Structure 1
Amino acid sequence: MEKRKKEEEEENPPAAGSLWDDLLPEIHREILSRVPYRSLCRFKCVSTAWLALCADPAVRRRSPQTLTGFFCYSQVDVGGGRRHYGVSFLNLSGWGRPMVDDPSLSFVRGYRHVTPIHCCSGILICYCWKFDMSDEADFVVCNPATKEIWAALPVPQNEMMTRLNTARLCFDPAIPCRFKVFVFVQSFAGVQRVEVYSSDTGQWTSVGSAWSSENLMIAEESGCVYFNGSLHLAVCHPVVKVVDWEVVIRSMVTFDTEGETWRRIRMPDTSNNGFFGLSQGRLYTGHVENEGRCRLLVWVLEDHASGLWTLKCTASILELLGSPCRAPNEFYQAVAIHPDCNLIFLEDAGQEALLMSYNMDTGKLDIVCSLGDRWAQRFHPYIPCFVEKPPVPQ
């Protein structure tokens, strides 16, 4: 009997494609979950079936994520021949459809103006003005990748809440069920206190600033990184005039999420046209000296405990471009660092308005794309995040 059955199977094998057809979607799903998000976006165009696979939340959550572009500001048409600064998205490749297909954040409904303040691990916190034309506004925490609003928090009101205040977001994808919002309450005398919102409790708490003030200010464009359980912010503060020159010294301040550890570290960058970011598990800062050969300088914080910065590299932008001298309107600034490699992003702020990249390993300078009317000082590096929305606290 068994011999006859075996002979029948050999004579009438199952359809060649039946088993493969059953396995094919799972194989595709496994392969796609291992490619970067940028590739997923391109593969959506292959077919309807691939569009469904690439949009599968299970695939996207497993897909390794890296820098895909920047949220930035540019002039947008608001009708009636009027143009105002609004939010746009710039692909890292410099071409093609935006990796974020809703760069204007139109899914954040119910507000007349939405302004991103800080991007942390792919999650945005925005300052949103209400439609009633009052001075009331919300801090909205949202996920552009999934078009979800995680929280709309009324701006905390007290006698010290002024236009000088700014907010930052703390979010760790390794603990996706929680996030924190920090509002730095400051006057012209510096940061006075910090209002902290926790998604665990759904409540605001107030913590007095333990930084020595010295007019220490956190501006809207101040760089901010969440690293090793603490916020790290690049800030400015004036010092006593030296030979009639008022110098601005940049510092880095740290603030842990529990409000127990406050620290200040002197930064080597004394210029305001620099960047501050995290790459490969270390903090970096850098800027361009626009005098002479337009020299790029980049430092890395090798020893976080000592607060000592190490000069990572120097490079002459004019030499890399093969230019004999700097034109009167030629100006460069460093705007960001790639989180996964030694790549620095620079803006040519002259007539060309270009975004460039400098590879510290190869010493190669490349042009990424034209910036047009985008404002490079307000670049928010973006890494997609597909974690589930945190639960609403009870």
Structure 2
Amino acid sequence: MDRPEGSASAVGDIPEGPLVEILSRVPGKSVCRFECVSKAWLGLIADNRKKLRQAMQGLFYRTLEYPEGYDITAFELYDLEYIYSFIDLTTRSVPLDIDPGFSFLTELPEIQCLVSRNSCNGLILFENRHKIYSLPQSTLGYIVCNPTTKQWVAVPTCGSTASFTYTYLAFDPAVSSHFHLVHFKVGSNDRLVSVNIYSSETGTWSRNQIDEQEELGQSEGWRDYQVRLCMSGGVGTEGSRCAFVNGFLHLVVWDSGQPKVLAVDLQGKARRMITLPQVAYSPGCYLGQSQGLLHYTTQGFSDAHQERYQLRIWVLQDYDTQEWVLKDTLELSGENCIGNMWGFFVFNIHQDCNVVFFTKSGRELMSYDMGRKEVSVIATFEGRNHLTDAFQYVPYFSKLPALTNNH
């Protein structure tokens, strides 16, 4: 409902414009709760729905059909082609107006193999790769897209010559309408070689921030960190999972013989090193954010006979004091027990509630509701089809000037 500029809103003395601006910075789950306060609140939120933060609606997931006779444990792949699909986690009568297979991207002539990397507040980062996965310099470029508006933009590579590169998307619409990519190059000894930042505002990559900070005497041991592989689902998900919280990108690194969480700002500076819970390092660890807090999962066998499997979920309750709290523990046994640590991967955690999503050997996509203590199978995969990634869908309705292409 339209009101004169500066006039009071229907829910109080604050003008509607500033009130909507305040609500746009509130988590989507809280906005949904405000709708229940009164009819006035319900009307205000309904009239401004597309301007406000949205709750998580579902999961995009990526599958790969391996060639017949292919050894899944091999490291070299050829002629890769991923298939994308979508699972709606809400109850609705009208389906979402989205393209679950991202055909508006995959049908572009310059796209060879589209590999999802991460999602952040409504935007998704893809890597465009050679189909022959084991080729050196297989990255052709990046695509950042908004699946709600079907806008996208191509981002060039950073000219890497390192053995491995890891690139992450950071976007907070409450702070800026522009996004950043944080690009790590890692040498053969797992040492960081460079950190570069792409800004959609300038449309350019920064110079190596490690070199620049060393010149200023501010590198603070950047080259001593080792980026460890947090195995999170199989082929195409190599690299540490990241979480964008408090304006910093967080990822797991190896420092002084211990896994820790490194916080990096959007200028490529290491701002904080967060100690992880004192548990045995798990190669299948997962780092993510839920309800504005960092979450970390570890996994392993809970008995000497390897008949029971345990998933531990930790939350960083106090960011300043680095206080980790064990939030929940999931025990799996019998038919649900994997019997192989490497076949179990946490893919994601729900943005707005206490639910984690994981796979069992790429054959099932499952969820664990911590409140209800329930494990559910969301999807199953048969034959040569394997699940390799799952990432959040959070609607973002505004059109961004940084995403210059429209479907």
TM-score calculated relative to the size of structure 1? 0.68
Residues 20-75 of structure 1: CA deviation (Å, up to 9, x unaligned): xxxxxxxxxxxxxxxx9xxxxxxxxxxxxxxxxxxxx9865558331411332322
SS in structure 2 of the partner of residue 386 of structure 1: coil
CA deviations on 1:236-295 (whole Å, 9 max, x unpaired) are 5794xxxxxxxxx53211101133443222323611223211111111111332334212
Please, which of 156, 159, 182 is the counterpart of residue 158 of structure 2?
Answer: 156
Report how far residue 93 of structure 1 moved.
4.2
Which residue in the other structure is 2:347 paired with? 335
Match of residue 105 from structure 2: 107
What does 1:1-394 correspond to in 2, within 5 Å? 60=50, 64-75=54-65, 84-93=80-89, 100-107=98-105, 109=108, 110-129=110-129, 137-149=140-152, 151-157=153-159, 161-189=161-189, 190-206=191-207, 207-208=209-210, 210-214=220-224, 216-217=226-227, 219=229, 220-236=238-254, 239=257, 249-268=258-277, 270-290=281-301, 291-318=306-333, 323=334, 326=337, 328=339, 331-349=343-361, 353-372=363-382, 375-376=386-387, 378-391=389-402
Q: Which has the higher contact order (CA 8 A, sep 6+)?
A: 2
Q: Which runs of 5+ in 2 are unaligned?
A: 1-27, 29-46, 68-77, 211-218, 230-237
Question: In 2, distance between residues paired with 1:368 and 1:359?
Answer: 12
Q: Deviations over 1:95-140 (max 9, x none)?
A: 9988742424443522222222221112122222489x99672222
Distance in 1 between residues matched to 2:145 and 2:330, nearest whole Å: 38
Q: Which has the larger radius of gyration?
A: 1
Q: How much has 1:336 moved relative to structure 2? A: 1.9
Identify the structure with the greater strand proportion. 1
Aligned length: 317
Indicate if the aligned counterparts of 1:76 and 1:85 stay in contact, CA closer than 8 A.
Answer: no
Aligned to 1:23: none
Alignment partners' CA distance in 2, 1:386 and 1:284: 27
% identical equivalent positions: 23
SS in 2 for 1:107: helix
Gaps in structure 1 of 5+ consecutive residues: 1-35, 37-56, 240-248
CA contact (8 A) 1:74 1:88 kept: no
Q: Is the 8 A contact 1:93 1:368 kept in 2?
A: no
Contact preservation (8 Å) 2:118, 2:126: yes
Work out whether residues 71 and 89 of structure 1, in 8 Å CA contact, stay in contact via their aligned partners in 2: yes
Deviation at 1:391, TM superposition (A): 4.5
1:222–1:214 distance in 2 versus 1, CA, 3 Å: same
Per the TM alignment, residue 377 of structure 1 is displaced from its structure 2 partner at its CA by 5.2
Change (3 A) 1:355 1:146: same
Q: Distance in 1 between matches of 2:256 and 2:62?
A: 28
Q: What amino acid sits opposite 2:59 in the alignment?
A: G
Cα deviation code 1:190-227 (max 9, x no counterpart): 11221111122222212116454445125534111111
> Following the alignment from structure 1 to structure 2, what is the Cα–Cα distance between the partners of residues 273 and 339?
20
CA distance in 1, matches of 2:262, 2:293: 16
Q: Considering only aligned residues, what root-mean-square deviation do their CA atoms show, in Å?
A: 3.8
Contact 2:57/2:89 (CA < 8 Å) preserved in 1? no
Asked whether the equivalents of residues 185 and 192 of structure 2 are also in contact (C-alpha less than 8 Å), the reply is: yes
Question: 1:326: how far off?
Answer: 4.6
